[in-house]
Chain A
Amino acid sequence: MRARFTLNGAPVETDVAPASMLLDLVRERGLTGTKEGCAVGICGVCTVLVDDRPVSSCLYLCGFLDGADVWTVEGLVEREPELADAFVECEGMQCGICTPGQVVAAAALRLRSPGAGAAEVREELAGNLCRCTGYETIVEAVMRYLERS
């Protein structure tokens, strides 16, 4: 099928297999910041924004893409440099494999609940697993980003 959507602000028109996954589509377009983790929508490693909501791109069918507004980590940090800055300054990462998903989830949280406190951040980020950090510095990074924007 033909799909017309925007990806990181730029219009895209392309043929997609309706049952293929958005994760593979963005990666094949060179946007490899979006990683494959659990592939069943649990871990949040592959999170992207679709129409301002965080979705697991490993489960998002390209058949739904027509008309969608899609943002990956690459586009979001270009749009909002303070997003990446907060994660760098607070060192909200170790191995980094979950970091793009955390960054996208933070952007989504600001759109939904810009005044979120630490407890709400913890609750809202529960869909983005991290095995390395113990979450403390990630929560700090998200808080710093929310406070600044």
Chain B
Amino acid sequence: MSQAEALIDNPAGARSSGSARLDAAAKAAGAARYAGDVVLEGMAHAAVWRSPLPHALIRGARLEAARAAPGVLGVFRAEDLDAGLFGRRVRDLPVLASGKVRFVGEPVVAVVAERREQAEAAVALVEVDLDERPAVLDARRALGSAEVLVHDAPWRYEGAVVAESDGPNLQSRVRHGREEATQAALAAAEFVVDRMYRTVAGHPGYLEPQACVAQIEEDGTVQLWASDKSPYRVRQQLADTFGVDPRSVVLNPILIGGDFGGKGSPTIVPLCVALARAVGRPVRIALRYSEDLVAASPRHPATMRVRLASDGDGRLVALRLDAVIDGGAYAALKPVPTVGLHGMELVGSSYRIPNLYLDARVAYTNSVPKGHVRAPGSPQVTFAFESALDELAAKVEVDPIEIRRRNLLTTGEANPHGARFVELRGREVLEAALAAFERRSGPPGWRTGWGIGVYDRETAAGKTSIRLRSTPGGGVRAEIPVPETGTGSHTVVREGLARLLGIDRALVEVAQVSTGALPYDVGVGASRVTAGMSTVLERAAQLWSMRQGDEVVAEIDGGGDERVTSFCVQIAQVAVDPESGEVRVLELLSALDCAEVLHPAAHRMQIDGGAVMGFGFACLEDLRIEDGQVWAANLGEFRLASSRDAPPLKTVLVTGSRGLGALDVKSVGELTNVPVAAAIANALAAATGVRLRELPITAERVHGALARRGEP
């Protein structure tokens, strides 16, 4: 057995007797294995020299000292490596910067050494001559002027969605809806709000820094263990980058230490492959967390102008969104065909809005390339839209609840983007939230208030596959293509299969297998794993009942014709200290509609964890990118909510909804992290009259706003 084969036996591929998640015992005992834990014989370690400047020409490099340092096996620049450009859709990302650097933190030189410390020590000896150029750091300025071009000809990249005739520094632009009709409706409406909202860059916050181990076999096959959630996509992307057959690239099963979107941006994987090829030994790259903060793929900052209009009763008549989004120095980390943020493009989806128009532009800037983070685009635009809705309600003098009651879609209606769902339960979920709501009191002298936010998200299945094999004793082994990122996806497969086959869960074994072993899977993302796995399980169970041999393979590409969406209504109660501006969330209530729940604990943690992540987005998280530099470059500066910070949570499950397929499921992973910021901003406004249109909502900002009004 080769080393690679020995490692393929996935520690998560396990059976368990109880109902607890499959990997619980291994994780609690410290026995669970992640990419950073993989050790291969002869494995070397890589570290990279990163650009200290946001925009500069590379004039040369002095590498002799690094080459002569202890343990060093090789020092490489872009021209030393045989690799093309990398990307999830647009291929514009070099493995190492070539010719010029475009953001602070961009890898320029890679060092491979016997030990990690040796590689890092040698990096400190690298000298690169950089000729600094003016940088463009602001997305609006980048789109408005050709004075600084991040890329000379971005339309030439493979997968580009822009043309030479487009304006400067454009990564992508999505326009949809009816512009003229929307403008006319805005002009004629009785009440209009026209406001700008702004959000900042935030890291996904997974606690496992990105790591990768690459090994090249004698026949050129690339064996990989990477903290990446979309193994089949990465395989194809690597095949494109290196001009090889995808079947010669193998992503091996491994646990992933948190994803939240960021583990779909495998920035280090192509470099790791190129270095393993160059030195002829297995190579490991494990980012230090600071590198991950500075140079991985944070959430896109957005500036959003919202124009929202209603009639005299607060019934919405028109919505226009103009968004300018900072995409950073490369477009490579956005996986969707529009190369945009699909959440942004679904603004207002929960409501009846007869006239809608949106224009969302993503700009190249000289800053860290942005990627997709948990519900990409939705937390930003929901903060903007739901805040604007409250501002409109205040103008119309309608209660914030009442304006939502009047405008939430009901079953049978199409949403403003033309989608039709089997049912629309926004009103029911809203009423359930209100029924569970109980006022909490704040500290003496603090002002209290509550606010609301609403979001809905479609459940979709995607393309995936599965193999079932019989095991001794009447059991079944499910081999699946999706990695366990922590959401409980493997456990959900166990639960679903036990239900469909009518057997005890103890008879079901689940294992992720390598990319060589199953047909294509799109990977973890878009809240699709439970839906996709349920749909393919249903198909596999049918095949299983008719099987000839002792195994079946099932594949699906999407679910059925019925479309389902899930509503989430959140109510935040806050107390605000008028002296300091401190905002304390007294309770965060989440109500959401759900169908069958396959594993209650996993379901609950998606809800709880999402709510706390949403709280972080609202109140804590800011990478503080200034002058093109990430200043919050460690976890002391970039603050993730701790157990002390996390607000008290309350959850209301509005059951009885109709889900997808025989297992009757709805997605849950990207709901409760979305409306929180609007709910808190609306609560703050209710408590103090201060309307913050910029995140995060910090004591400093609130104090400043109160002071400008002559308070305290």
Binding site for B on A (CB under 8 A): 31-40, 42-43, 45, 72-74, 77, 83-85, 87-89, 91-100, 103, 121-123, 125-139
Q: Is the CB of B209 within 8 A of A42?
A: no
Q: A91-B24, A122-B644 are in contact. Are A43 and B30 (CB under 8 A)?
A: no
Q: Is the CB of B486 within 8 A of A132?
A: yes
A130 contact set on B, CB distance < 8 A: 207, 609, 643
Q: Is the CB of A74 within 8 A of B605?
A: no
Q: Is the CB of B608 within 8 A of A134?
A: yes
Q: Is the CB of B207 within 8 A of A77?
A: no
Q: Is the CB of B24 within 8 A of A88?
A: yes
A130 to B610, CA, bound (A): 12
Q: A73-B29, A100-B30 are in contact. Are A40 and B486 (CB under 8 A)?
A: no
A98 contact set on B, CB distance < 8 A: 207
Q: Is the CB of A96 within 8 A of B643?
A: no
Q: Is the CB of A74 within 8 A of B29?
A: yes
Task: From the candidates B286, B635, B644, B649, name the one contacting A134 in the complex (CB within 8 A).
Answer: B649
Q: Is the CB of B27 within 8 A of A40?
A: no
B649 contact set on A, CB distance < 8 A: 134, 136
Q: A97-B258, A134-B610 are in contact. Are A84 and B28 (CB under 8 A)?
A: yes
B257 adjacent to chain A (CB < 8 Å): yes
B613 contact set on A, CB distance < 8 A: 131
Q: A127-B642, A136-B649 are in contact. Are A94 and B605 (CB under 8 A)?
A: yes
Residue of A at shortest CB range from B255? A96
Task: From the candidates A74, A100, A126, A133, name the one contacting B642 in the complex (CB within 8 A).
Answer: A126
Residue of A at shortest CB range from B20? A88
Q: Is the CB of B289 within 8 A of A38?
A: yes
- Within the complex, the shortest CB–CB distance from A142 to chain B, in Å, comes to 10
Residue of A at shortest CB range from B38? A32
Q: For the complex of A and B, list the 3 residue pairs with the smallest distance between their C-beta atoms, beginning with the closest.
A: A33-B30, A95-B486, A134-B608
Task: From the candidates B18, B207, B487, B642, name the one contacting A37 in the complex (CB within 8 A).
Answer: B207
Binding site for A on B (CB under 8 A): 18, 20-21, 23-34, 36-37, 205-209, 255-260, 286, 288-290, 484-488, 601-602, 604-605, 607-613, 634-636, 640, 642-646, 649
- Within the complex, the shortest CB–CB distance from A2 to chain B, in Å, comes to 21
Q: Is the CB of B290 within 8 A of A39?
A: yes
A4 to B646, CA, bound (A): 41
Q: Is the CB of B257 within 8 A of A35?
A: yes
Q: Is the CB of A77 within 8 A of B605?
A: no
**Chain B binding surface, main DSSP class:** loop
Task: From the candidates A77, A129, A136, name the one contacting B640 in the complex (CB within 8 A).
Answer: A129
New A-B contacts (7) at CB < 8 Å, excluding given A95-B207, A137-B608: A38-B635, A84-B28, A95-B208, A95-B484, A99-B28, A134-B605, A137-B601
Residue of A at shortest CB range from B488? A94
B36 contact set on A, CB distance < 8 A: 35-36
Q: A88-B20, A96-B486, A97-B258 are in contact. Are A34 and B635 (CB under 8 A)?
A: no
Q: A135-B646, A136-B649, A137-B604 are in contact. Are A39 and B288 (CB under 8 A)?
A: yes
Q: Is the CB of B20 within 8 A of A89?
A: yes
B645 contact set on A, CB distance < 8 A: 126
Q: Is the CB of A134 within 8 A of B646?
A: yes
Q: Is the CB of B634 within 8 A of A42?
A: yes
Q: Is the CB of A95 within 8 A of B255?
A: yes
Q: Is the CB of A88 within 8 A of B207?
A: no
- Within the complex, the shortest CB–CB distance from A78 to chain B, in Å, comes to 8
**A-B contacts, 18 listed (Cβ < 8 Å):** A35-B257, A38-B207, A83-B28, A84-B25, A84-B28, A88-B20, A91-B20, A93-B27, A97-B486, A99-B28, A125-B642, A128-B643, A131-B206, A131-B207, A131-B258, A132-B486, A134-B649, A139-B643
A42 to B636, CA, bound (A): 6
Q: Is the CB of B206 within 8 A of A99?
A: no
A74 contact set on B, CB distance < 8 A: 29-31
Residue of A at shortest CB range from B289? A38
Q: Is the CB of A35 within 8 A of B487?
A: no
Residue of B at shortest CB range from A87? B28
Q: A77-B29, A95-B256, A96-B27 are in contact. Are A132 and B609 (CB under 8 A)?
A: yes
- Within the complex, the shortest CB–CB distance from A137 to chain B, in Å, comes to 6
A123 contact set on B, CB distance < 8 A: 643-644
Q: Is the CB of B488 within 8 A of A37?
A: no
A132 contact set on B, CB distance < 8 A: 258, 486, 605, 609
Q: Is the CB of B28 within 8 A of A126?
A: no
A135 to B33, CA, bound (A): 22
Q: Is the CB of B636 within 8 A of A122?
A: no
A50 to B128, CA, bound (A): 43
A115 to B24, CA, bound (A): 26
A117 to B601, CA, bound (A): 22
B21 contact set on A, CB distance < 8 A: 91, 93
A83 contact set on B, CB distance < 8 A: 28
A135 to B647, CA, bound (A): 10
Q: Is the CB of B612 within 8 A of A96?
A: no
A122 to B208, CA, bound (A): 22
Q: Is the CB of B28 within 8 A of A131?
A: no
Residue of B at shortest CB range from A138? B643
A83 to B29, CA, bound (A): 9
A35 to B258, CA, bound (A): 13
Q: Is the CB of B37 within 8 A of A45?
A: no
Residue of B at shortest CB range from A142? B643
A140 to B430, CA, bound (A): 29
Q: Is the CB of B640 within 8 A of A131?
A: yes
Residue of B at shortest CB range from A37? B207
Q: Is the CB of B486 within 8 A of A94?
A: yes
Q: A39-B289, A74-B30, A99-B27 are in contact. Are A94 and B609 (CB under 8 A)?
A: yes
A122 to B648, CA, bound (A): 11
- Within the complex, the shortest CB–CB distance from B485 to chain A, in Å, comes to 6
B256 contact set on A, CB distance < 8 A: 95
- Within the complex, the shortest CB–CB distance from A110 to chain B, in Å, comes to 15
